[in-house]
A = this chain, B = another copy of it.
């Protein structure tokens, strides 16, 4: 079920993670292991709500994307990962200088992979878990991605 993470694969995952919307937001990879992925982001004014907290949408994006890459560490090169659905609870307000997200695969089926993500608010003197989410992912042959309406 599990694949070896070669230096080439690790480099691919790190670079592939940070593209499009993810690069635009400013997320970065901080750790990769088989079935686990960790990311961080430095918080600026562009990440806030009208009430000056970190936006739930940013936290949700981080949780989803990082979970997808935790799943991506477990599948062959020609397989892609899609999010079927996710659910996220916001536990505390986030207002720190950075966020850290840890994602872990909790079950790998033939087609469906389930992961969990925890996001931590990195404040001046401590870190607090501010969200917990469960993400249902689908592993799909890359060529099936091309056909747009699955």
Contacts and interface: CB of A to CB of B under 8 A. Distances in A.
Nearest to A62: B57
Tell me the dominant secondary structure on chain A's binding face.
Answer: mixed
B111 A91 contact: no
22 contacts: A19-B50, A20-B45, A20-B48, A20-B55, A21-B48, A21-B57, A22-B57, A51-B80, A56-B61, A57-B57, A58-B61, A60-B61, A60-B64, A84-B90, A85-B89, A86-B87, A87-B87, A89-B114, A89-B136, A92-B107, A107-B132, A136-B136
Given A84-B89, A89-B107, A93-B150, 6 more contacts: A20-B47, A20-B50, A24-B46, A55-B65, A57-B60, A82-B93
